[in-house]
Amino acid sequence: MNDSTPLIVLIAILGGALRVSTPFMFVALGECLTEKSGRVNLGLEGTLVLGAMTAYAVSYHSGSPWLGVLAAGLAGAALGGIHGFICKLPKVNDVAVGIAMMLFGTGIAFFFGKAYIQPTAPRLGSISLGDWTGNAQLATALQINPLMIVGILVAILMWWAFANTRWGLIVRMSGDSAPSAMAMGVSVDLVRFLATTAGGFLAGVGGAFLSLYYPGSWNQGLSSGQGLMAVALVIFARWDPIRCVAAAFLFGATGAIGPALQSVGVTQGYYFFNAAPYILTLFIMIASAGSKKAGRDVPGELSIIK
């Protein structure tokens, strides 16, 4: 070990955070939008996987990865739309439907995706933000994907829209008090349907990142529960899009601790460090669940808290 080791580890963690956080970010934003409207969509894991497969397939056939991203979003929106539609039916529980949709999404992704495990599709490029530093490691770490920037912009847009647009207020209203919204003539079901659909779109785009950027290929083990963790991230971010982004980065960074340490030769506790993000989430959840603030930020209509 020498003096620069801590720095190398830090850079590696930063790089890891930037690399793996994007899908978390998109799924969390999608879930955030859905939950703000008063509905839970636990099916986003399935949406993520279907998005990854669709993106890869479309990119392969069309040669355009961005078309793949769009197709992933549309596939996600379709799944979200189905979820939103089923939940409109009377006496349907959105949590149960979500779990069914998760299985459905992964199921059709694996079914149609068999043919795309072998071929190589064009992938998304990256933007180098770190070349000016003259430090090779930093430059690699700061190679980022345009989707990450899109995600951050979407988060800022959502944050702004929730406070400053009619649609934003209507979504929050439907999520917090359906009777009030109905008294104002808002069709709560429609708002939730649209929010779930849009949320599905975002989660689908998150999937495109997995297959078209990092890890950057399509196979059945592509997602390791990112879609589910993102649901937890939303709670931890207390339904704030900006905090969702921060949470995604934090999650990505803790996930990168293990590999980063390994890269400088620290192999002890490798598995422990791999579990770090989950342990962290658990602790943060315990800490924030007890705070009164969290209780106040929960949309009042969520079926899990009713």
- Residues of this chain that interact with other proteins (CB under 8 A) are 163-167, 169-170, 172-173, 175-177, 179-186, 292, 296-297, 299-300
Beta carbon nearer to other proteins, 67 or 182 = 182
281 in Cβ contact with 236 (< 8 Å): yes
Beta carbon nearer to other proteins, 33 or 72 = 33
Beta carbon nearer to other proteins, 118 or 166 = 166
Q: How far is the CB of 176 from other proteins (least distance, A)?
A: 4
| Positive or negative: CA dihedral 80, 86, 89, 91 | negative
Beta carbon nearer to other proteins, 178 or 210 = 178
| Spatial CB neighbours of 290, under 8 Å, sequence gap ≥ 6 | none
CB count in 10 Å sphere of residue 185: 6
187 in Cβ contact with 15 (< 8 Å): no
- 3-class secondary-structure state, position 215: coil
Beta carbon nearer to other proteins, 143 or 176 = 176
Q: How far is the CB of 137 from other proteins (least distance, A)?
A: 44
For residues 135 and 133, give the distance between their C-alpha atoms in angstroms, rounded to a whole number. Answer: 5
Q: How far is the CB of 77 from other proteins (least distance, A)?
A: 22
For residues 285 and 142, give the distance between their C-alpha atoms in angstroms, rounded to a whole number. Answer: 30
For residues 119 and 12, give the distance between their C-alpha atoms in angstroms, rounded to a whole number. Answer: 30
Task: Identify any residues that bridge with 12 across adjacent strands, giving them in sequence order.
Answer: none
Beta carbon nearer to other proteins, 127 or 153 = 153
Q: What secondary structure does DSSP assign to 48-66, as a single string?
A: HHHHHHHHHHHHHHHS-HH
Q: How far is the CB of 238 from other proteins (least distance, A)?
A: 12
Residue type, position 162, single letter: F
Beta carbon nearer to other proteins, 38 or 130 = 38
CA atoms within 13 A on the CB side of 151: 33
Q: How far is the CB of 172 from other proteins (least distance, A)?
A: 6
Residue type, position 109, single letter: A
- 3-class secondary-structure state, position 1: coil
